[in-house]
Structure 1
Amino acid sequence: MPRTARTTAAKTTKPAGRSRRQEKAEQVRLALFDAAARIVGKHGYAGASVARITALAGVAQGTFYNYFASRQDLLDQLLPAMGEEMLAHIAGTVRGERDEVAREERRFRAFFAFLQKRPAFLRILNEAEVYAPKGFRAHLANIAADYRRALEAARGRGALPGFAEDEIEPLVFLLMAARSYTSVRYAEGPGGKVKAPPESLIRAYVKLMRHGIASGAAEE
């Protein structure tokens, strides 16, 4: 093979080799995240040892430290990562809906649907404030920022009549609180399973939104 051809071949194969390594590394990282989620969902943060996580992920314990500085580092990243997954799930559900009450109903249903898809999320969220406070704070900030952008856009379209600009952030946390407590009451089932929300809960939530959010102008 001429020198120039060998050089060209080397240049084209090296990036592909790096890409394969990067892809494999990402697969291992995702496997560790998934294993950690399942372990915390079953045993709690206190029972989420590196040994249990790596055994479930199918990697050596030493490999763990190529991706995370410590066990706590992984636990602090776990909830924010799952929160991003939840936000993507909800965004796909509400896309295209212009009516704000209907959008909020879709968000609410999508939140419970995500819990059914990822039942470990409830325990990961509920224990995080104690066992992974850094991750808990990051998760709250991410969720609040995403919700605020959505509601500010809705207000810009005139969909939140009567709500002042400085009322948007309090509204965000009121709606987040509704999800937190209704999930404890209606989603948690036996054996760590997640139940579908009753339609009575959905109806009550929609009525609250329709006569609260959509009729906010009545207070002025």
Structure 2
Amino acid sequence: MSAPSARRSRPSARRERSEKARAALFEAAARVVGRHGYAGASVARITAAARMAQGSFYTYFPSRQALLDELLPKLGEEMLAHIAAAVSGAGDEIAREERRFRAFFEFLQRRPAFFRILHEAEFFAPRGFRRHIENIAADYRRALDRARARGALAHFTEAEVEPLVFLLMAARSYTSMRYAYAPGGKVRPPPEELVSAYLKLLRQGLDPPAASAES
């Protein structure tokens, strides 16, 4: 009985080692691209940062470009998981969006290299860039569809939901560009006036009703 059991465990152990090695290479690539950019992210630098032999890289990725194309979508999945955990338990749609917004900035503090990885990807890893944008948009769309199912966003037509997704994504992108990054590469939390302005825009729009304007 022990021999078949041992045979079954070997592929599982190999798979676990392979997943750990790939994770180490992703982590190393994030650090290297964050410091040197995609152009400076050589296999030698990535494997050195991962403390792996350079030749072993090709056991896990067919090419340097294959890893770089997967890097941003991988970080994007990590970001979505962080935001989902932050949103859990929020009371209403505005509270959910506030948590999403704050959680995005928190993720940037955890992953200060993300901004450079994202913006250089459009040119150096376009396949990964497109996948990342599609993944983020699809996740946001699902969130807004759930909100509509709860009776929120009733004033938006079905055709307007996708544009709304990209408007909200753009708000994160450009506000983080202005407010998140400090000299020296450090990432700051969002200033409260940014959060309050964002929430006022969501609640009242640019031209609130007279009753709201007077209050």
- Tell me the CA shift for residue 121 of structure 1: 0.6
Q: Once the two structures are aligned, what percentage of the paired residues are identical?
A: 67
Match of 1:3 in 2: none
User: Pairwise mapping of residues 154-173 of structure 1 onto structure 2 (< 5 A)?
Assistant: 154-173=147-166
Match of 2:190 in 1: 197
Structure 1 letter corresponding to 2:63: S
User: Pairwise mapping of residues 91-170 of structure 1 onto structure 2 (< 5 A)?
Assistant: 91-170=84-163
- Tell me the CA shift for residue 60 of structure 1: 1.0
Secondary structure class of the residue paired with 1:177: helix
Distance across 1 between alignment mates of 2:205 and 2:158:
16
**TM superposition outliers: structure 1 runs of 4+ over 3 Å:** none
- Tell me the CA shift for residue 17 of structure 1: 2.3
- Tell me the CA shift for residue 161 of structure 1: 2.7
CA contact (8 A) 1:186 1:195 kept: yes
* Higher mean displacement: 82-91 or 16-25: 16-25
- Tell me the CA shift for residue 212 of structure 1: 3.5
- Tell me the CA shift for residue 178 of structure 1: 0.5
- Tell me the CA shift for residue 187 of structure 1: 0.7
Secondary structure class of the residue paired with 2:61: coil
Distance across 1 between alignment mates of 2:161 and 2:115:
26
Secondary structure class of the residue paired with 1:191: coil
Please point out which of 62, 73, 77 is paired with 1:69.
Answer: 62
Structure 1 letter corresponding to 2:199: V
1:184 equivalent in alignment to 2:180: no
- Tell me the CA shift for residue 16 of structure 1: 2.0
CA contact (8 A) 1:42 1:192 kept: no
Match of 1:86 in 2: 79
CA-to-partner distance for each residue in 1:124-174, whole Å, 9 max, x for gaps? Answer: 001111111110000000000000010011012111131111100000000
Distance across 1 between alignment mates of 2:83 and 2:205:
22
Secondary structure class of the residue paired with 1:192: coil
1:15 equivalent in alignment to 2:15: no
Gaps of 5+ in 2: 210-215
* Higher mean displacement: 204-213 or 29-38: 204-213
- Tell me the CA shift for residue 37 of structure 1: 0.2
CA contact (8 A) 1:32 1:57 kept: yes
**How well do the aligned residues superpose, as a CA RMSD in angstroms?**
1.5
Please point out which of 26, 40, 62 is paired with 2:19.
Answer: 26
Structure 1 letter corresponding to 2:116: R
CA contact (8 A) 1:41 1:192 kept: no
Aligned length: 208
Distance across 2 between alignment mates of 1:118 and 1:84:
13
Structure 1 letter corresponding to 2:200: K
- Name which one, 1 or 2, has greater alpha-carbon Rg: 1
Structure 1 letter corresponding to 2:7: K
